[in-house]
Chains A and B, each alone.
Chain A
């Protein structure tokens, strides 16, 4: 159920990208933002020091198709669990993808938490194509 989203046809894919917590390494997420904009997506980038609550609120307000989180500071398991929990509390099923410094061992754990896909150091085109597929569903 796309409970939180307005269904519209032919609109551009909208994605919310954000850093979360105190990790200020934003080179990766800025590159992803630029690449997705180049592919014609509408990117809402929230910037540094965001909390799960404001990420979820912004995603709902901005009516995005996908939430992309960038985490390089090692706190990915804690932060992602919190975002997923907040989404569920608000009965929202916007898919979440994660990028950053993520050990292979944690990819499975993140998916078990409810993350659609994890991109540790993946080509930008792979990320973009995945988002396009995800938004079509």
Chain B
């Protein structure tokens, strides 16, 4: 650009202005919000103090004065040893919980020696092919004292959870005291393309139900599932749609649990939303408040749950991957900071901050630490955690909270009219909506309608793009894991494995509705592999997939 053009740009830039459009709401905003905009709001009924029904202002009276949000980092790469080392490094930097990312091989329910596993072992997470890998991964990590989140495709969830339980048993840890979460959301898997490890919605709802039932009865402090709406959000949907889908997923599971005769209060107490935080700051803060209010009122009025703790919606946030770009990747640090701040001001129970290098590779050690630092700086240096719901009463934030709720109620009603999220009609409708959102968001970024700094506005020429350090997967991961698998199959009692697998098969085939968790746990204890168990489950339900 010539200098004279450059300063023409500067001159034009001087009068730049905000466009007043909220993409989250799909509407233009007023220039200012005043008492008139929230005149229908009744404090006791619609807000309540933090810790009071309907929990719009937060689920605890003292919020982060009681306990700060949980600072999670999503970890998994290379061998279980590699991942363990990263966990220890993050722990030494002050991470307060662990989130385990299994690799694509484990998520697909196959073993490293499967032909489709070539090149994928440990590349996008950690391999957990048997109890042996779980032992290695968590060696020396006191699981009875650390909150662990296992992120899994729903049908593989029972197997990896069983590995975790079996590890606790080996260590004589009290399983009833384990705290953590197994992300186990079949409806997410169905809509968001995780078909390998979740090939059939009905089958997945059954296995997810088994996990929920098992945990509710045996592991009262462990969260057996969450509404993983973050994956939906990455498809470009609005915050209102995110809440509506989250609620629809919850209702589907509550229905399933009712059929199994579970106590709905116990189930609801362990329920959480896993949401994605985007860039539109005040909308994101408000979204948390709308979600909590809707959860409490709908659970009470629609389902008839009165138990106070069941009505408190726990929200785990991840900063949405789709707000991060590979162009000028350092800019992502600013994006992550703004979104993390929104999540904290929204009153999240846990926040997971991706690496600034998301979109380039798995996080490097530096990127991982930096994500944690963003959370710590906000928590310990800015004072934002001192007072519960600090934006409560803001005309604008209260307006947004009510407006998002209104939109979400409309979407929920529409989805129910179509037959619900698991019905043919409802899922077709939702799939179309998701496809449209996807094209709108990403098409908008592509065309420049959705401004992304350094990407489609003020962008540097491609040849000047920044190159950052890249996390590499050690080249011998496959070889090492194949060796572990081979030795495992040589050393274990194969007769015991065969018997245990046969029992899974027979329970599934001969006793309809039987909970498979105890049988899976038995097989895991005998060191049956993830692929062997998943294969048996698929066989017994006669499901054909990529396997």
Q: Which residues of A contact B (CB under 8 A)?
A: 21-27, 30-31, 34-35, 48-49, 51, 73-75, 77-79, 82, 101, 103-106, 120-125
Within the complex, the shortest CB–CB distance from A79 to chain B, in Å, comes to 6
| Cross-interface CB contact of A74 among B194, B325, B361, cutoff 8 Å | B361
Known: A51-B116, A73-B123. A22 touches B196 (CB 8 A): yes
- Chain A contacts for B327, CB-based, 8 A: 121
* Residue pair A27, B119 in contact (C-beta under 8 Å): no
What are 20 sample pairs from A and B whose C-beta atoms fall under 8 A apart? A21-B116, A21-B118, A23-B120, A24-B194, A27-B234, A27-B438, A27-B442, A30-B438, A31-B443, A49-B195, A49-B546, A73-B123, A75-B119, A79-B119, A101-B326, A104-B465, A105-B470, A121-B359, A123-B446, A124-B446
Contact A120 B326 (CB under 8 A): yes
Rounded to whole angstroms, the CA-CA distance of A22 and B473 in the bound complex is 17
- Are the C-beta atoms of A31 and B439 separated by less than 8 Å? yes
**Given A22-B105, A103-B360, does the pair A27, B235 have CB atoms closer than 8 Å?**
yes
Residue of A nearest to B470 (CB): A103
Residues A49 and B116 in contact, CB atoms below 8 Å apart? yes
Main secondary structure, interface of B, reads: loop
7 nearest CB pairs, A to B: A78-B119, A22-B104, A74-B123, A75-B119, A73-B124, A103-B470, A104-B467
Query: Which residues of B are found within 8 Å of A35, using beta-carbon distances?
Result: 443, 446
What is the minimal beta-carbon distance from B276 to any residue of chain A, in angstroms?
13
Please tell me the number of chain B residues within 8 Å of chain A, measured between CB atoms.
Answer: 38
For residue A30, give the distance in angstroms from its CB to the closest CB of chain B: 7
Q: Is B218 an interface residue (CB 8 A)?
A: no
Q: Flag whether B126 is at the interface (Cβ < 8 A).
A: no
The 0/1 profile, CB within 8 Å of A marked 1, for residues 489-511 of chain B is 00000000000000000000000
Find out whether the CB atom of A25 lies under 8 angstroms from the CB atom of B193.
yes
Report B351-381 CB contacts with A as 1/0, cut-off 8 Å: 0000000011110000000000000000000
Contacts of A31 in B (CB 8 A): 438-439, 442-443, 446
Please state if B124 and A74 are interface contacts (CB–CB under 8 Å): yes
Q: Is B108 an interface residue (CB 8 A)?
A: yes
Give min CB distance, A112 to chain B, whole Å. Answer: 17
Cα(A35)–Cα(B124), bound, Å? 28
- Measured between beta carbons, the chain B residues less than 8 angstroms from A34 are 439
Q: What would 8 more interface pairs be, CB under 8 Å, given A21-B116, A74-B473?
A: A22-B104, A22-B116, A24-B195, A49-B116, A49-B546, A101-B359, A103-B361, A105-B470
Which residues on the B side are within 8 Å of A23 (C-beta)? 104, 120, 124
